[in-house]
């Protein structure tokens, strides 16, 4: 199974396409995960430059966060997913639904995404994320029972925060969830937040080991299933995910350096 590791544009949004793409290639990533511009010409320009650089693309859809009520959320999701799939990425990573939508409403959104994925022949995976339909294990599990074909992006740092633990008390939850994972956001969370200050620090060791054990299991499951490719995106983000010092607002660590360091760890571990 081929392991492909992607660079998140999040935190680098101010960089022009040629500058960011060169940065990604120099670091040794296999591709870019990003949300595409709303303007069609700009979308085409980004996708062309990424392809010309020999990089793969994962499109991120998160903009539905700006639509808190159901009908506008559904309309925006349809437009954004069609645009994302039209770029022919490896897959689309979607922030889908809300934790306060009804189960019926969230299932309607998930079925909409499945239909769009079939139309375009592009897989759509749904990110485990706070405030979405998957923001807590007990929110997600009923959807997995009703929709066994549901495919997920594992950003389990969010569950650490939501459950105020490293999930050591929920092995059954993980056993039900991890077989559905098709993409990993390789960020390390802790019981009080979705991102440790520096995953290389001794005080982050327990959190890092927990996350590595989950990622190891996903990789094992995908290899056993005969998957051709597994994708991971180191996703240490800017402030406020990265903590800042009081008054100065200086970040306590550099998110890009964290992501490159995680790339190197993943390469060594899963080569």
110-122 pLDDT per residue, tens: 999 999 999 999 9
**What per-residue confidence (pLDDT) applies to 61?**
98
- Condensed to tens digits (0 to 9), the pLDDT of residues 35-86 reads 999 999 999 999 999 999 999 999 999 999 999 999 999 999 999 999 999 9
CA 176, 178, 181, 187 dihedral sign is: positive
Q: Percent of the chain at pLDDT above 90?
A: 100
Say whether pLDDT at 271 is over 90.
no
Model confidence at 200: pLDDT above 90: yes
- Give residue-wise pLDDT tens across range 235-269: 999 999 999 999 999 999 999 999 999 999 999 99
Q: Are 180 and 151 in contact (CB under 8 A)?
A: yes
**Full-prediction pTM beyond 0.95?**
yes
User: Tell me, what's the pLDDT at 69?
Assistant: 98
CB atoms within 10 A of CB 224: 10
Average pLDDT for the chain = 97
Kindly report the backbone phi and psi dihedral angles of residue 44, in degrees, each rounded to the nearest multiple of 5, phi listed first.
-65, -35
CA distance 110 to 158: 20
CATH number at residue 233: 3.20.20.150
| Mean pLDDT confidence for 98-103 | 98
Predicted local distance difference test score (pLDDT) of residue 52: 98
Can you give the residue range of the structural domain that contains 74?
2-270
Query: How would DSSP label each residue in 76-120?
Result: HHHHHHHHHHHT--SEEEE----TTS-HHHHHHHHHHHHHHHHHH
Number of structural domains the chain divides into: 1
184 phi/psi in degrees, rounded to 5: -120, 135
* pLDDT value of position 11: 95
**Mean pLDDT in residue range 155-182:** 98
How large is the average pLDDT for residues 8-37? 97
pLDDT of residue 63: 97
């Amino acid at each position: 199974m081929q392991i492909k590791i992607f660079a998140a544009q999040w935190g680098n949004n101010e960089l022009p396409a040629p500058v960011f793409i060169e940065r990604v290639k120099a670091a040794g990533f296999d591709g870019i995960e990003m949300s595409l511009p709303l303007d069609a010409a700009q979308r085409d320009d980004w996708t062309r430059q990424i392809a010309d650089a020999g990089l793969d693309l994962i499109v991120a859809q998160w903009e539905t966060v700006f639509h808190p009520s159901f009908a506008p959320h559904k309309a925006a999701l349809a437009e954004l997913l069609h645009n994302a799939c039209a770029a022919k990425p490896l897959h689309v990573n979607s922030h889908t639904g809300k934790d306060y939508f009804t189960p019926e409403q969230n299932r309607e959104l998930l079925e909409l995404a499945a239909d769009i994925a079939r139309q375009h022949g592009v897989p759509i995976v749904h990110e485990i994320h706070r405030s979405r339909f998957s923001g807590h294990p007990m929110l997600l599990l009923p959807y997995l029972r009703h929709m066994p074909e549901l495919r997920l992006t594992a950003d389990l740092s969010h569950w650490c925060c939501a459950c105020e633990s490293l999930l050591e008390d929920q092995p059954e939850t993980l056993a039900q969830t991890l077989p559905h994972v098709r993409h990993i956001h390789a960020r390390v969370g802790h019981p009080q937040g979705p991102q440790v200050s520096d995953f290389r620090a001794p005080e982050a060791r327990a959190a890092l080991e927990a996350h590595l054990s989950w990622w190891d299991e996903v990789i094992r499951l995908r290899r056993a299933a005969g998957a051709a490719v597994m994708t991971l995106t180191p996703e240490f983000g800017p402030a406020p995910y990265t903590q800042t010092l009081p008054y100065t607002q200086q970040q306590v660590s550099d998110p890009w350096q964290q992501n490159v360091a995680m790339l190197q760890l993943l390469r060594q571990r899963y080569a």
